[in-house]
Structure formats: structure tokens, C-alpha cells
Chain A
Amino acid sequence: MRFDWIDTLPFWPDQISDHAATVDTIMVAFSFVMVLFVAPIFVLMAFFAFKYRRGSKADRMGRPRSLPWLEATWALVPLVVMMVFFYQAARAYFDMHDEMENALRIEVIGKQWMWKTQHPNGKRQINQLNVPVGVPVVLNMISQDVIHSMYLPALRIKQDVLPHRYTKLRFVATETGTFHLTCAEYCGTLHSRMGGSLVVMEREAYDAWVEEAPDAVAPVERGRRLFTEAGCRGCHAEDAPVEAPLLDGLYGSAVPLAGGGSVEADDNYLRTAILRPNAHVVAGFDPIMPSFRQQLDEAQILDLIAYIQALPTGGREQGEGR
């Protein structure tokens, strides 16, 4: 069930996705139910205070000391009703974390005090995020310094952006227009200036806009060059002089680890593999890979990951991530 009239209320913020509509419905229905639980308290308090004011003639015989059935009722009835909301909201929360098919992936780097975004063809923006309407979008986000939080109020979503770890934010916008984009986690002096706009465009308009980027180089392409220049290829190639795993089909597969067990090769795994190679060592190999923490910046790491992601599967079994 969804209340479609909500966003016509005065003052109500823009509501531009199905998820936002669900959130608003939960909000309004929950408020309504709460009033039902609270009104008796206020009404009865006023009524009792008046009726039983000192000296009034009201009958006071047979005061109950406590009534277990009454205690049970007012403890459990609200709880059971609220479980409905708990469930609905949990479902919406799980949905927004679900992976989406064929999502448009946009890279986001947060730093004190700006947002940098990058589209699949390498087109970059600052403090602005353009997306096509009706297309699933996944933001892959990381911070270069402190914790920030990507907040898109019109979509009713936010996600903290952490240093050294990718977090994701997924949405499908259903209306075009320009909306707020802002940082919700306090990040220092100009925290309140760390914002800009979310621009939702018609699909064709987005395609045309994103194409018009004369000197953008696709991250996959930059990653390919970097893979050679940084020396990765010196080890990670069939004809390399050292024993290092081939990266074909790695992304999204399950990697067996030297200590036993295995781990899914997602973005965070690749990032760790490059910056702290000894955190998980691949089974059957020696931990000889050096850390690249000093050499690479966040954008370059994203390029390398994009490149590894784009490698042919090489017959490897793919998990969900792909």
C-alpha cells in the first residue's frame, strides 16, 4: 500500500523514487498510529486531573493497586502493532541494499569539502551528480580523508562514505529535475558547504550529456595503462618471471585464501589486495606483492579496479558480484 497524496502536502519535500514514496508512506502511517497510542494518555491525564481534583465529589472507592491484564495490554498491543512498521521498514531497507541488474555505476570520491563524481566513460563532475531517469544507479563511494555521508533527501537515502572502504548507494530516480545533494556526516570546518545537486535527466539527454566529454578517458583504459606503468603486469601475467595469480575473471569470484577459507573478490577486496597485499594472501602463492599505498591515489585505485573488473572471465566461476 502506498499513499500517493503525500507529496502534494504543503512543505513536503520532493519525492522522486518508489523507495521515497514507501518511506513517506511508512512515515505518515506510523505518525498516525502513534497519535492513536498517545491521545489516550493526554486525554486521560487531563480528564483525571480535573475529575479527581482535590476535594471534588467524585467517587474514589475501589482504587485498583495494579491490574496485570491492563499492564500486559498496554505493553503488548503497541508492540505488536509497531512490529508491522518494523517489518515494512526493514524490507525497504533490505531492498535498498540489494544488488541491481545492469546498474549504471558511478564512482564518488568525498574529500574535505567536496564531492567528485565520475561516470563510466571517465567524465567527471564536482559537487554535482547527473543521472538518467528510470535507470538503476549504483554509487561506489570512498573518502579520501574523514567520514562523510552522501545524502540525497529527495530519494530519502543516505550512506556514510568511509576512508579506505567502499560503500554503495543504490537508487532508481523516477522524476527529472534538480535536487539537493549534501554531506550529512560532520566533517570539519566547511561541512555545511559540502553539497551540490543531483540532476536527474531524461535518458537521451543524459546519454548526450555524458558523451560530450572530449578529453575524458574511460577508467578501464586508464587502468590498463596504469597496470603496466605501476608494474603490476610484471608479476600478474602468464609470462611473468614470478608466481602471481592471473587476475582474469577475478572480480566477483570466490578467492581461496592461504589461511583456509575463501572471500568474495568485490571492490573492497581488490582495494585491500592492492594496498595491503598481506591482509589476505591467495592460497598457493607467496606474499611477495609490495604495497602500493604510497604510489596510488584514490582515483588511480578506482581505475585499476575498473580494469580488473573488465578483464575476461577466463572460465572462472562467478559469484553474485558479477
Chain B
Amino acid sequence: MNAIYTRDAPDYIRAAYSLRSWLFSTDHKRIGVLYLISITVFFFLGALAAGLIRLELFTAEADLVTPDVYNRAFSLHGVLMVWFFLIPSIPAVFGNFLIPTMIGANDLAFPRLNLASWWVFMGGGLLTFIALLLGGVDTGWTFYTPYSSMFSNSYVALTILGVFIAGFSTIFTGLNIIVTVHKLRAPGMTWMRLPLFVWSHYATSIVMILATPVLAMTLLLVTAERVLGIGVFDPALGGDPLLFQHLFWFYSHPAVYIMILPSMGVMSEVITAFAHKRVFGYAYVAFSSIAIAAIGFLVWGHHMFVAGQSVYASMMFSAMSFLVAVPSAIKVYNWTATLYKGQVTIGVPLLYAMAFIGLFVVGGLTGLFLATLALDVHVHDTYFVVAHFHYIMVGASVMAYMAALHFWWPKITGRMYPEVLGRWSAVIAFLGFNVTFFPQFLAGYIGQPRRYQTYWPELETLNQISTLGVALLAVGYIMPFFYFVRSLWRGPRAPANPWDAFGLEWMIPSPPPTEPFKDTPHVTWEAYDYPRPEDQGARDGR
């Protein structure tokens, strides 16, 4: 397919060169790139903290850092990775960059709100970073009360403020995406013709704007209790500590879907492109995103089976959690079926996508173990949980992020990355990930609690395997960093459509001009309108 919407305008990168033209750009593509750079920094900061944690856990005794440093390390790791990497990762980088183009628009509905979201995000990041420099926070990313509100001697209020502010950037992004999808679709781009990437971001955005305000209010209440002594959560002041957990998980369970739904969108794009075939069961995949977003709001109590909530409440939350797995299963089965009778090429993005599916399946199914009441009582707050959510949030989400990065890198930068190195990094990251996190399921079932600096001697072997895995995983993440940066100068120029993929973003030049569509395109095709073998004839094997 050729680039059918060519323009004489310079591409968005060469449109202007000053720093100012980047920092104050309202171009969704530039803002996407700003996000890409910022979250990469946060990712490596959070990864350093993780490295420190795993190094300390190499032996059963505490011999590297003091308990306070250890507690601050895992808290920082969680806060940075959740709010400053995972939540913005795919939506703010790729959603930003791609959604307008995918639906035939030249920008998001509110370009200045989009810019504001990045500034707000950086403001929140800066406050959190200052909190870190001052001495950090030791509450874990969950800020459980009354520890966070009345007992912790660390920079809780400042960190909370950072997260609170960053939350607004999420709300802005969500709002922008929703309005854009409703209002700016090109003529002919009906809902059922939207790329699934857009559907999943639409579902994500709903979660963002409904859940994030709850987090914001909750964090404000913690600060009010901590700073002003207003009793909300601390029972000594007449509050209820479980109220915090309800509010927190009312946000944080849906937040898991903020982190995974966009990845699922990436999967649908990458798998169809590399199978060179329309996705199997388009409508089922599209609506399963909405179903996940909706049911995802009704399962938060599965984090509280041992917290002292009523057994009947636990039972309902358990049942709902089983239900929310169904739409995810539908997606995975449909992706598999998409390969059937396709024209499959194993490019780097597809390798990452397959890694995603493998890890997501394990992560998702172990999530069901945690939804199973009596099982959860045993493994709750152990390394089993740690392994489970890393399979989802690192295994799946980060793999999808890497898939997206490789898939759209040519589009974003106009350069190709080295294919062979790409394959190696995908395989190394996959292996490293499993070596790191699989042993944690076992350690958790044996009973190693999470957030422990020391552990029982019988767990040492498993923990050492896990720590060694990190070395491999690190190679898998650092390699792409270097070859991507290098490709900016040395990489071969990318054509408009290097993957022979279908979609509006592949019909414009790489990198795209600031306003790729001079005239609004008229969409007359459905999503993933790849040639069918019947139309092509058996001539060339298609």
C-alpha cells in the first residue's frame, strides 16, 4: 500500500527546531514524544529501585541496606512504575500519537489540554522526585491507613501531592480521547470501523475519568488526616481504616485496566498486521474492552478477603472477579484465531506480542487463583501476588509497550531499528522475565510475605534465581534503548508502511507531517481490510 495522503509540508519533527517548539507544542505527535522521553526516564529510575530490592533479596538476611532504605526503595519503585510509567505509557505516548491519525483527524479535540496534561504530569513527577531527594516515602504505593496517615515518618504528603497532581494529567488525557473519538472521526469512520486500538483506548479513558477522581479524593483525605488531624481513616480519631482500602481499590483495581486495556489494543493492531488478516471476531474484541471496563468497577473487594470485610461481600467480589476474566479470555482466543489462515511474518513486534500473550495468560489465570476465596486467604500479600501482578503489569503491559514501540517506531521517527537485535532483545526479555518472576509464585505459595527485606532460609534458592533473572531482564530492556537511540542517526529511513499493514496511520508518510490530512479522508473501508485470498486468487499463494 502506498502513502495516499502525501503532503509537501515538512514532517512534524522538522516543522520547527527550538526547544520551545517542543515544550509548548500542541501537536499531539510532539506531546506523545515528550511523554515517551519522560516516562523512559521514570522507567529507568523505577527499575533502579527494583534492582536495589532484588539485590538486597539475594540473601535471606538484611545485609545491603537498612530497613528504612529498603522500604523506601520498594515504595518508590511502586509509585514511579504505576503512576509515572505504566498508567501514562501506552495511552499518553501511543494513544496520543496515533488516535487522531487512526480516525482521520489532524489532532485531538483539545490540543492545549493535551499539552497541559504533559506539564501537569511533569509537575507531579517533579514533586515526587523532590520527595525522593528529601528522603522518600515508606508506605508502599498503596498508602494504607492508618500507617500512612498517622504513623509513617516519611514524605507522605509530598508524594501524595505528586500523585494527586499527576492524576489530573490522566483525567485530561482520558477526557481528550473520549471527546476526540466521539467528535472527530472522519466521515465514514463509523464505530464499527474503528481500529481496535481506538476501542480499547476509549474503554480505558472511561475508566480514567471515572476512577481517577476517586483516587484524588482519597489521597486528599489521607493528607487532611495526616496534616490537619481530621479523622477519616484512623480509628483513634473515629475513622475507619477499611474505608481507605475500599476507596483505594475502587480506583486501583480499575487502574489495572488502565494499564492493560491499551496493551490489548496494541495486540490487536500488531497481530492483525503481522498475520496480514482481519482480526477474528472484531465485534467481540471491541465490546470485550467495554465489558472489562464496566465489570472492572465491581471487583475491588477481591483485595480485601482477609481485611475483615463481610464474608458475603467477599463472595460477591469473588464471583464478579471470575466474570471479569471472561472478556479477557475472549480476546486471547480471538487473537489466536486471527493467525488462522493468515499470512504470518514473525517480525519483532509479533515476537513481543506472543510474549505478551504467554505472560498475560499466566498473569491473568493466577489472578483467578487470587479471586478464589480460600486460596487468596493463603497467598494474599505474599510473593504470589507480586508475581501475579508483575506478569500482568510488566510481563504483559511492558511487553505490549515494547511491541508498540517497535511497531510504530518507524512511523514516529522515520527510522528502522535493527531487526536481529530486536529479536534477541524480545527473546532475552521474555526469558529474563520468567526467570525473575516465576520463582516468586513458588516462594509466595510457601509463604514469603511481600515487602519483606529478610526471609526464611529455605526461600533463598528461589530468591537467588529471581535476582539472577533481573540481570537478563535488564539486558532485554537496555538493548532496545541503545539500538533505538542509535537508529535515530544510523537507522535506514522508514517507508510510509514498512509492515505492509492496514490503517490510516500507514497511509501517511513516516514521520507524518504536522497536519497529515489536508482534506479529511472519507473512509470507505472497514478496519483491517486486508486482501482476502478469494479476491486475490490462489495465484500467488494468498
Contact = CB atoms under 8 A, between A and B. Distances in A.
Contacts of B520: none
Q: Describe A's contact surface by its main secondary structure.
A: mixed
Interface in B64-79: 67-68, 71
B352 to A, nearest CB: 14
Interface residues of A, number: 83
Contact of A42 (B322, B358, B446): B358
B446 A11 contact: yes
Nearest to A61: B533
B375 interface: yes
B332 A41 contact: yes
Contacts of A42: 358
Contacts of B342: 48, 52, 60
A184 to B, nearest CB: 4
A147 B311 CA distance: 19
A158 B376 CA distance: 9
B542 interface: yes
B373 A92 contact: yes
B319 A153 contact: no
Contacts of B238: 276
A45 B372 contact: no
A94 B450 CA distance: 26
Interface string A109-126: 000100000000000000
A63 B278 CA distance: 10
Interface in B210-234: 234
A189 B136 CA distance: 13
Given A54-B345, A164-B236, A27 B445 contact: yes
Give the size range of B's interface with the partner.
35 or more
A151 B322 contact: no
Given A38-B365, A159-B308, A184-B449, A63 B373 contact: no
Interface in B464-501: none
Interface in B321-340: 322-323, 325-326, 329-330, 332-334, 336-337, 339-340
Given A13-B447, A147-B146, A151-B449, A86 B372 contact: yes
Nearest to B461: A11
Contact of A60 (B281, B283, B305, B542): B542
B270 to A, nearest CB: 13
Contacts of A41: 332-333, 336, 357, 361
A158 B380 contact: yes
B308 A191 contact: no
A165 B337 CA distance: 52
Given A85-B372, A163-B236, A75 B344 contact: no
Contact of A192 (B146, B305, B319, B455): B455
A165 B308 contact: yes
A52 B374 contact: no
B318 interface: yes
9 contacts: A38-B362, A48-B339, A48-B342, A82-B325, A86-B318, A86-B319, A93-B305, A163-B241, A186-B381
Interface of B: 62, 67-68, 71, 138-140, 142, 144, 146-147, 151-152, 234-236, 238, 241-242, 275-278, 280-284, 305-308, 311, 314-315, 318-319, 322-323, 325-326, 329-330, 332-334, 336-337, 339-346, 354, 357-358, 361-362, 365, 368-369, 371-375, 377-378, 380-382, 442, 445-447, 449-456, 532-534, 538, 541-542
